[in-house]
Amino acid sequence: MSSSVSRNRGPTMDSKAPCSVDWSKLPDELWPRIGQQLIPFIERLRFRSVSYSWRHSIPRFHPSIPPEFPYPFSFHSKASLARTTLYLLRTNPFPYASTSSPSTSSSSPKGWLLKLEECNQNLRLLHPITNRQLRCGEDFFPEHLNFVNYKMVELGQAYALKNSAGSAYVDRVSKVIELPHSEPCSILVIHHKGKLGFAQTGDERLRSIGNRFSSYSDLIVYKGRPYVVDKWGTVFRVDQALRVVQFAPRLVCFGHKKHLVESCGDLYLVDRYMVADPNARPDPITSFYRFIRHQGNGWPDAIDECPLITVNFRVYKLDQERGRWDEVQNLDDQAFFLNVDFSFSVSAEDIVGCSRNCIYFSDHRENPLALRSLSAVGDGSVFNLADHSISVVNAAGAPFFAEIYWPSLP
């Protein structure tokens, strides 16, 4: 999921552009056929934005109805699958030039992370780490953003379950992935304190798979196949028969949470150590949520729980040839991003303000998915693997870090 996907970006209309083909001279009857091959909403939007003739060569995009799945905790309700896409956004000196996958050379401009959720026929900007909704003109974000003027490289897709009757996230669901090439559409879900579930569109209820006594921590699609890690650090592969088979040697590590990250074709396990923060006051929205969830236990039990904060990370790389995990002390030029719904790796050289050998994260992911876009939260933190220091990423107080998410566009 973390591998970059390159795309061609339209015609060459400048003789100085790096491509010598003048796409504008193609016969007019070819444009509708080309436009019909653009499946993602953002691609069709960019295509129709180029010119008047292109805009009228294909109809407006009418999004399909999101696939529905059984609600994890109700046999009578349905949840819809929401997709968001993470992009690397770069300034494009030739906005109508055909482009290839960006290189990491010094000649390539650095970019920013941009996360978009398709809602009906609109796009929502989301914070790449916390999923907090961003608004143009606010949060240090520009008032206008013309996608035609930028190169957009897809880094991956993230998934979540939302109430079919509204736009709220389904509660007590910590991770969702869509199984690749599944027909009908199928998902794997980690829910309710680490249980692993499977469902297809049209199912009446979520099917439990794996060891019902295990607590699973993270899911990933790695080289086209689904993998899951439990709280002790054992990685399993989910086969086509939905058997959860141990894939990697057992790695007993004692962090609070486990994250699976693909980087440069290799599989990494990030062990996250957390402690209760006695000096922090619980978020009011989260406290109210816990009160509702545990109202039978009374108000004090619902609000006395201290928030968790991250204090350390340990990183392991899977050596498949030798069949072992090797602890990693240096990520080289890579930076890991532990998103609330999708973890990924990028070259720090590709992103403005990004530091190499660091892990970007947010303790906000400890909130239920249904509350992540509502509760008060900062912009995340950065962990330096070299000295194990943790710095807060704050748009107002640390503009250098904030440029990763808030581009200083002209």
Taking the C-alpha atoms of residue 67 and residue 303, their distance in angstroms, rounded to an integer, is: 36
Joined together, the tokens standing for residue 125 give 């900007």
Taking the C-alpha atoms of residue 216 and residue 193, their distance in angstroms, rounded to an integer, is: 8
pLDDT, position 17:
44
Whether residue 108 is predicted with pLDDT greater than 70 in this model: the reply is no
Task: State pLDDT tens for residues 287-316.
Answer: 555 555 444 444 443 344 567 889 999 999
Q: Is 383 helix (H, G, I), strand (E, B) or coil?
A: strand
Taking the C-alpha atoms of residue 301 and residue 278, their distance in angstroms, rounded to an integer, is: 15
Taking the C-alpha atoms of residue 17 and residue 35, their distance in angstroms, rounded to an integer, is: 22
pLDDT, greater one: 62 or 13: 62
Phi, psi of 363 (to 5 degrees): -70, -5
Task: Choose which CATH entry (2.120.10, 3.30.310, 3.40.50, 2.60.40) describes domain 68-93+108-405.
Answer: 2.120.10
Strands 334-338 and 195-200, bridge-based pairing: unpaired
* Residue whose tokens read 């990494």: 268
pLDDT, greater one: 98 or 210: 210
Whether residue 273 is predicted with pLDDT greater than 70 in this model: the reply is yes
Name the strand (E) or helix (H) holding 288: helix 284-293
One-letter amino acid of 126: L
The burial of 246, by beta-carbon neighbours within 10 Å (0-12 exposed, 13-18 middle, 19 or more buried), is given as exposed
Percentage of residues in the chain with pLDDT exceeding 90? 35
Of 116, 102, 100, 203, the closest CA to residue 157 belongs to: 116
Of 248, 255, 261, the closest CA to residue 318 belongs to: 248
pLDDT, greater one: 402 or 259: 259
Residues 6 or more apart whose Cβ sits within 8 Å of residue 194: 174, 214, 215, 216, 217, 230, 231
Taking the C-alpha atoms of residue 395 and residue 49, their distance in angstroms, rounded to an integer, is: 31
Question: What integer best gives the mean pLDDT of the chain?
Answer: 77
Of 219, 249, 222, 224, the closest CA to residue 234 belongs to: 249
The burial of 144, by beta-carbon neighbours within 10 Å (0-12 exposed, 13-18 middle, 19 or more buried), is given as exposed
pTM: 0.79
The length of the chain in residues reads 410
Name the strand (E) or helix (H) holding 300: helix 299-303
Of 269, 267, 302, 309, the closest CA to residue 288 belongs to: 302
Whether residue 241 is predicted with pLDDT greater than 60 in this model: the reply is yes
pLDDT, position 47:
74
pLDDT, position 369:
46
CB-CB neighbours of 383 under 10 Å: 23
Residues 6 or more apart whose Cβ sits within 8 Å of residue 122: none
Name the strand (E) or helix (H) holding 358: strand 358-361
Residues 6 or more apart whose Cβ sits within 8 Å of residue 140: 395, 396, 399, 402, 406
Q: Measured in Å, how far apart are the chain's first and last C-alpha atoms?
A: 31
Whether residue 243 is predicted with pLDDT greater than 80 in this model: the reply is yes
Domain with CATH 2.120.10 in the chain: 68-93+108-405
Of 266, 355, 246, the closest CA to residue 316 belongs to: 266
Whether residue 142 is predicted with pLDDT greater than 80 in this model: the reply is no
Whether residue 286 is predicted with pLDDT greater than 70 in this model: the reply is no
Q: How confident is the model at residue 1 (pLDDT cuts 50, 70, 90)?
A: very low
Whether residue 75 is predicted with pLDDT greater than 70 in this model: the reply is no
Taking the C-alpha atoms of residue 45 and residue 53, their distance in angstroms, rounded to an integer, is: 14
Least confident of 148-152, 352-356, 391-395, 406-410: 406-410
pLDDT, position 178:
95
Cβ 220 vs Cβ 177: under 8 Å = yes
Of 236, 262, 243, 234, the closest CA to residue 331 belongs to: 262
